[in-house]
Chains A and B, each alone.
Chain A
Amino acid sequence: MKIAKKVIELPSSGIRKYFDIASTIKDVISLGVGEPDFITPWRVREASIYGMEKGRTTYTSNWGLLELRELISKYTYEGTGVDYGPKDEILVTTGVSEGIDLAVRAITDPGDEILVVEPSYVSYKPCVIMAGGKPVPVTTTLDNEFKVRREDIEKKITPRTTAIIINYPNNPTGSIMTRKDLEEVADVAVEHDLMVISDEVYEKLTYEGKHSSMAALNGMRDNTIHLNGFSKAFAMTGWRLGYACGNSEIIEAMMKIHQYTMLCAPITAQMGAIEALKSGQQDMLDMVKEYNRRRRVIVRGFNALGMRCFEPKGAFYSFPSIKSTGLTSEEFSERLLYDQGVVTVPGSVFGESGAGHLRCSYCASMEDIKEALARIGRFLDKLKQEQAPTIRNKTRQ
């Protein structure tokens, strides 16, 4: 049997190990989940069921149902101020995951370098590799609240650089970028003629001010591939439904790959998404409100435990630092899981600049969040006790 070299060399996800450990432990509380704990609003599920009853079980246009694209156009305009034509500037994809793959493949020739802002969602780098490109990490830091700056990007630009992938509100840090912050990225992109792939799937989960979209910046509409989807805002992860917006040339190129690999996104999911955009806004706002409450509780909780945690203003993740414990993020996550049954994701999984942090999702009930914080507190106390004698010995020497 032959497996392609490219695939063999692809690193496997660093999260698998924690999943395997967690399945052997009882009474686990998970802050490791990257999806809403809410179930898709009933009106959305009901609309999809109705569609099935009516026999809406066919393929759709490669682009997706026109009615859905028209609604996406309106929704995107309301959310970002950017106007995309429903006929040839919007492509409905099977989750943002497919959107990322299509965007990268549509613009990458062998050897092209694509900048990936880190810490980052785990799929960007592998997508670039599979497309024959070379992913180049751009690091961000806690001191700058994990926002990417002009100088961070410029350091990594070479004549082969063609694009940059950004994701704000960010997974795993919860960081957001204001319009002013994004201007820096836009300036570099224009100067060096870079395409920006902007994954804005957490757009609606912005807790301070209104989300700023890359494509809304001066001169950026046609150099930006705006990726978005229904998973996070409408708690529709399992439906696998997203969309890409951009100028017609690039969307057409993405559609070409999509029509041969995916054909179209599932119609059952598209039927649900139509309802979500038509009348699911209040359900979405209610969920956002609840995330915001949990966010306040978890951030305050970590800081009270002495784990430095900047205020994440978007997505549903907090990213506390565990550097003061002297453990690596892998050691901390693993020991915390064995010792207290709390699942977290080590920050290093999301790139080198995530090391020394944990990704803690607050997609959990308030009781679970409080219990997890209490358990983490007990774990930290244990660590201190372990470490105390060594320090005393050292002073004696």
Chain B
Amino acid sequence: MREVLELLERDSKLTAKELAEQAGLDEKDVERFIGEMEARSIIKRYKTVIDWEKYGDDSVYAIIEVQLNPERNVGYDAVAARISKFPEVVTCMLVSGDHDLHLVIKGKTMKEVAFFVAEKIAPLSQVTHTATHFMLRSYKQEGEIMFEKEEDTRLVIHP
């Protein structure tokens, strides 16, 4: 059944019938399994990778490195949960190295992102330092290469 999740992660539009066929499983079992995975929130949601830049959208993305003072009992979790609730925060993860939280922020303009960090993140009492890196170009996103794909140059049949 793991294979069903792998297939869905790559293409969430596959139907239960297609999934069953490809993974060599029974369609009813696949339906039941997906229902269970959704109920247990193992399947969080079905999303689409979009090349917004190509579409003409000029959203601004930034990576924010956040240094924190951990809190007694809850460590980093409480402040991370608080930060994660802002819709501007696309990704929030605890990382090893010279900072603690790694955020990806989405905004309409650089100014908007900068003010969001200055007003909502930096002032938090647990936050000791932030560094903002604006994204200039995305080459690979969610496992998807964002530039020209390599062409299929095989002969249709070998003479």
Contact = CB atoms under 8 A, between A and B. Distances in A.
Contact of B157 (A293, A294, A297, A343): A343
Interface stretch (B18-26, B63-71, B85-93, B126-134): B18-26
Nearest to A39: B150
B157 A296 contact: no
A30 B157 contact: yes
Interface string B75-90: 0000000000000000
A35 B150 contact: no
B157 A32 contact: yes
A19 B21 contact: no
Contacts of A296: 21-24
A293 B156 contact: no
A16 B159 contact: yes
A300 interface: yes
A36 B154 CA distance: 9
A34 B158 contact: yes
Given A37-B152, A39-B150, A22 B157 contact: yes
A15 interface: yes
A33 to B, nearest CB: 5
A39 B151 CA distance: 9
Contact-size category for A:
20 to 34
Contact of A15 (B3, B21, B150, B159): B159
Given A37-B152, A39-B150, A345 B22 contact: no
B22 A297 contact: yes
Contacts of B22: 293-294, 296-297, 366
Contacts of A34: 158
Contact of A33 (B7, B21, B24, B158): B158
A282 interface: no
Contacts of B156: 19, 22-23, 28, 30, 32-33, 343
Interface string B20-49: 011110000000000000000000000000
Contacts of B21: 296-297, 300
B154 A15 contact: no
A150 to B, nearest CB: 32
A324 B22 CA distance: 27
Nearest to B24: A296
Interface in A1-58: 13, 15-16, 18-19, 22-23, 28, 30, 32-35, 37, 39
B74 interface: no
B83 to A, nearest CB: 34
Contacts of B50: none
A61 B37 CA distance: 56
B154 A35 contact: yes
B136 interface: no
A366 to B, nearest CB: 7
A293 B19 CA distance: 9
A293 B159 contact: no
A351 B158 CA distance: 17
B139 to A, nearest CB: 13
B159 A33 contact: no
Nearest to A36: B154
B24 A15 contact: no
Nearest to A333: B157
Given A296-B24, A297-B22, A33 B157 contact: yes
B24 A345 contact: no
Given A297-B21, A297-B22, A15 B157 contact: yes
A18 B150 contact: no
Contacts of A33: 154-158
A270 to B, nearest CB: 23
A37 B157 CA distance: 12
Contacts of B155: 19, 33
Interface of A: 13, 15-16, 18-19, 22-23, 28, 30, 32-35, 37, 39, 289, 292-294, 296-297, 300, 343, 345, 366
24 contacts: A13-B159, A15-B157, A16-B159, A19-B157, A19-B158, A22-B156, A22-B157, A23-B156, A30-B156, A30-B157, A32-B158, A33-B155, A33-B157, A34-B158, A35-B154, A37-B152, A39-B150, A292-B24, A293-B22, A293-B23, A297-B21, A297-B22, A343-B157, A345-B157
Ordered nearest first, which 4 A-B pairs have the shortest CB separation? Answer: A32-B157, A293-B22, A30-B156, A19-B159
